[in-house]
Amino acid sequence: MIVSPNTSVMPISASVNDAGHLVLGGCDTVKLAEEFGTPLYLIDEATIVASIAACSAGLSSYRNSRILYAGKAFLCTAMCRLIAKHGLGLDVVSEGELYTAIQADFPGQLLFLHGNNKSEREIEMALSYGQVRIVVDNSSELELIAATAKRLGKTVSIMLRLIPGVTPDTHQHTQTGQSDSKFGIPLDELDSMIEQALRHKDVLKLLGLHAHIGSYILDLKPFVESVNVLADTYAKVKDAFALELPDLDVGGGLGVAYTEDSKPISLFEWAQAMAEHTTSAFGERHLKLPNLFVEPGRSIVGTAGVTIYRVGHCKQVSGSRYIAVDGGMADNPRPITYQARYTAAVANRMHAPACAQPTTLVGRFCESGDIIVKDANLSADTGDLIAVFATGAYHYSQASNYNRTGRPACLLVNNGVAEVIIERESNSDLTRLDRIPDRLKR
């Protein structure tokens, strides 16, 4: 049986020990909180490995395919090393993500640089590292890439990002494939972009097309629709330019289970559908099968993550009970940004019954919208530990220093061992970049 961890709220290693404590990766979360403090991000390595295995199994029928991990979901040097160990490529979208990959000695030929507003500095860094593929977003960017390559005496492999005109059923802030998207090239401008790329064929090697329709998508239909658009486009490119592009990147965006009523398709099923439908769509159009790339991010790491908080003060307001914890929107901005819903439990008393009255889990930050779980209904009190599940993706990567708080530490847990992969930020870290003008020192 192939396990697809994206369909379960908890990491696959989650259990409860005899003391009633939540255990992740063989580690007692109560002991971890005592040793490393809270808030605390935990990443279960076994869940990541199982997710990679599920995706790989789904792609197994397609001879030339590769998983590219979308680093924007969660990235640090240890994560780079972990996915490289399992043969994945890596998507990066900024100078900082590219620098992180370089610091981890990630293979350049497996790096893909994305983004809708790449700077000359980012492009130069990619070209200097060697063999990094660049996914081109627009015409002026293409000219900048060509000019930078000529200046450095380099050649660069590129793909063109298309707007496929597919709108998935997800939050409007996470849709990227609709016709008015800020990302990518409209279909009716593709021919001119290809012509532009071919004019620079001395330094640009056009390998294929890319499309990404959005994030947190729970069903297959929009993914299949996007593959159809891409296959039609490859056929048109062949007719217009006598050019059969060797590579195809169908993007990612598969959702995960944040609550028990979340029903995402499994990672295995999604990857299998991408492989099978690409095969049939290109076969029906009498096209050579391209090398296939898929870009899961959230579905690889999302349910591997758990955040541990400690309860501070509790109070009654208008018939509801509020449980305040020592974190919130600075370490998890998704509820206030996307109205995201979560599942929480009392980590030091996992068998505790649900609270009979309405209970809301709130953060410590100075915003009324800093609510982690509105209907938590937890029987928790001061000093208890709260576990919030499925916090592996877009949590640390979107975390901030709001209210001058340091970002939490992050641990990788596996086989009873917990290792720090990101240190906790200290108060001195918060002021390290501050400067006082001389006129204010007097």
Please give the structure tokens belonging to residue 231: 């296959």
Q: Which of 76, 80, 366, 410 is catalytic?
A: 366
Please give the single-letter amino acid code of residue 48. I
Phi, psi of 192 (to 5 degrees): -65, -35
Residue holding tokens 């899961």?
Answer: 296
State whether the Cα torsion 117-123-129-132 is positive or negative.
positive
Token code pair at residue 261: 């009523």
- Which residue, among 94, 90, 92, has the nearest Cα to 68 in the 3D structure? 90
**How many CB atoms lie under 10 A from the CB of residue 84?**
18
Is 366 one of the catalytic residues? yes
The SS3 of residue 396 is helix
Query: Tokens for 327?
Result: 């974190």
Burial annotation 353-370 (CB, 10 A radius, 16+ → b, else e): eeeeeebbbbbbbeeeeb
For residue 356, what are the contacts with CB-CB under 8 A and spacing of at least 6?
none
DSSP 386: E
Ramachandran class of 440: left when φ > 0, alpha when ψ lies in -120 to 50, beta otherwise? alpha
- 3-state SS class at 209: strand
The amino acid at 28: D
Here the tokens at position 215 are: 């994030």
Exposure string of 308-331, with b = 16+ CB inside 10 Å and e = fewer, is bbbbeeeeeeeeebbbbbbbbbbb
Distance CA 325, CA 306 (A): 15
Provide the 3-class DSSP secondary structure of residue 254: strand
CB atoms within 10 A of CB 420: 12
Residues with a catalytic annotation lie at 366
